Amino acid sequence: MVAKIKQTNPEPFKPVEVDPITLDIIENALKNARNEMDATLFRTAMSPGIREQGDAFPLIADHEGKMIVGQFGSFIDGFLKNYDGEIEEGDMIWLSDPYSCDGAISHNNDWLILLPIFRDGRLIGWSSHFGHQTDVGGKVPGSLPTDGNSIFQEGIRIPPVKIYKKGEFQKEMVDLVLHQVRMPAWCRSDLNALMASCRVAARRVHEICDRFGLDVYISATRELLARNHRAMKQLIETTVAEEKISFEDYVCDDGRGYGPYKIKCTMWREGSKVILDFDGTDPQSESSINFYLNENMFKMFFGIYMIMVFDPQILFNDGFYDLVDVRIPEGCLLKPKFPAALSCRTHALGRIFDVLGGLLGQRTPEFLNAAGFSSSPHLMYSGFDKNGEWFQLFQIGFGGIPGRPLGDGPDGHSLWPGFTNVPNEFLERYFPLRIERYETVPDSGGAGLNRGGNGILMAYRFLEEGTVSIHDDRWFTYPWGVNGGQPGMRSSKYIIRASGEKEILGAKVDDIPVKPDDVLYYITWGGGGWGNPLERDPELVALEVKRGLVTRQGAENNYGVILDADGRVDEAATKAKRKELADKIVTNEIFCFGPPIEELRANCEAETGLPAPKPPVWTRRAASAN
């Protein structure tokens, strides 16, 4: 199946020479239009995940569907290869089914809008935007069932359909979809906002063409892609070796008591092409932690890493994709077979960034970040308030950013570009809860010359009866440190009931009942540390103790810094303590993962209060066969 583009004007585009100043103006105009798409969306949407946190991803593409500006890679290629239909002027496409677009979006909650941009009867480009909906139906509020074993349990699946057909709005189809969701007003507003943002981008593209001419605009987009190709070709040839290197990391569990799940990637170069092979990644899960990883999306992740490390001035776009070969085995965690559940794919998505950093940084450890994109913690809280009105919260939390070559990781922040937290005032105004604590967790960031960012503790006091769901990771394995840096702290969750009873919760749980005055303590992981912690400036450690980012005990045990009663550095005692600790810090290995998996299993319940995850099904079957 390949989409058919109906153009009333078949005249080909005429290549023209574009001078550097004009190219720069067009590039920045497109960047501004991409930012305007976000501004339009955030000012119009209603769900806090989009409106307050920015959980949405825009792009502007050329006439072939290649992204010129954006941030998450092109969604359009997977759609074009799988859409068995005709596209013409006045159409607008809506979809949410990952299996219909090669995983360009990765679960049903992401609603994707695609707008073909026509001019004088010819297709000249695309604008596109997707955003996470608070609810799309399914078996649990939020539509992210941890125990789901089929995508049919995860809310309504929208195949590629025309929400506008030759300029006519398909109202009945929209009404049918919104009839299946728990928050139809929010979803309608978010949907309208996504469409409006795409139309804004289309207007800006036409304005550029009005100013410079269509042939100049098309030639400029081709040159922006070609320029990226030339730059990435040079980066790949000079920084990626022909010898194979591998890296692996784990998703801690599947929410059903099994894990951890391995993600493995091997990289090497053949000529000017880099190969990224996920052979060795564990088979797909029976639960919903599978991540249908689109190859082009991973190419963009790779490209962004290379650009940000070696040359941040390069505009990242789809121009270099033919230089990267991504191989993902069918039936593995990253390419599950239909109808595998996909709703809780965020944990594997987060782990992909840690794997990519560990893989690409091995040959240049001076540029290597520690682990920190450990998950994207979700909290859902829903029920009926005292007036009988339904309320439903979807919120993304943040953990510690990893220690980096150039400095400490920020405390309690997001690695997603542009993401922000939901303000506590917003939560308390619109939902029946109170934020009792919102603070950094001292010592949770891995110790290092450059400290890993601390995780955060959020204490939610519930004011109405309802249910909560929690989706997080890095509670079993540690966010690893690098170059002598130590691992970050693991995450944990528990409830103090109104009766005073403490209930420890797993990292992936649904439908936990809560009553008024129950308090949920939501503690996220810290980022791994970078470099030898005994080389950290003692005065800086003393300052962080004063600021509550490091404890006195942490300063002594992790950094070898001894403080006097007034909080000043005791230089003699510090020198002696650091000499004592020197033999305990391993500095000749790139990674510090913490205890091995079997040791973690043995100590899990004593350390976390939770049973260790059991080996996944295929592991048990293989052991039985042997």
pLDDT digits (tens, 9 = 90+) for 291-319: 999 999 899 989 888 887 777 777 789 99
> pTM of the predicted model, to two decimals?
0.94
Half-sphere exposure of 275 (CA within 13 A, CB side): 14
SS3 of the chain: helix, strand, coil, percent, to 5: 35, 25, 45
CB atoms within 10 A of CB 32: 12
Sign of CA dihedral 13, 14, 20, 22: negative
What 8-state DSSP symbol labels residue 181? S
Calculate helix-pair angle for 20-44, 184-212, nearest 10 degrees. 160
What is the average pLDDT across 488-516?
97
Q: What is the C-alpha separation between 597 and 619, in angstroms, rounded? A: 14
At residue 480 the predicted structure's pLDDT band, cuts being 50, 70 and 90, is very high
pLDDT at 575: 96
Strands of 518-619, DSSP E: 519-523, 591-592
pLDDT at 622: 44
pLDDT at 328: 97
Side-by-side strand order, sheet with 378-384: 390-396, 378-384, 466-471, 508-514
pLDDT at 417: 62
pLDDT at 72: 73
What is the average pLDDT across 488-500?
97
pLDDT at 3: 86
Q: Where are the alpha helices (DSSP H) in 311-365?
A: 346-360
SS3 of 267-296: EEEECCEEEEECCCCCECCCCCCCCCCCHH
Which tens digit of pLDDT belongs to each residue from 369-378?
Answer: 999 876 789 9
What is the average pLDDT across 201-210?
98
At residue 1 the predicted structure's pLDDT band, cuts being 50, 70 and 90, is low
**How confident is the prediction for the chain on average, in pLDDT?**
93
Q: What is the C-alpha separation between 50 and 70, in angstroms, rounded? A: 17
376 three-class SS: coil
Q: Which of 104-118, 122-136, 263-277, 415-429 has the lowest mean pLDDT?
A: 415-429
Tallying the residues shown for the chain, one arrives at: 626
What is the average pLDDT across 206-233?
96
Q: Which of 18-27, 229-238, 473-482 has the lowest mean pLDDT?
A: 229-238
Residue type present at position 268: W
pLDDT at 620: 44
Is the confidence at residue 497, as pLDDT, over 90?
yes
What backbone phi and psi angles, to 5 degrees, belong to 424? -60, -35
Q: What is the C-alpha separation between 287 and 116, in angstroms, rounded? A: 36
Q: Which H or E run includes 434?
A: strand 433-440
pLDDT at 315: 77
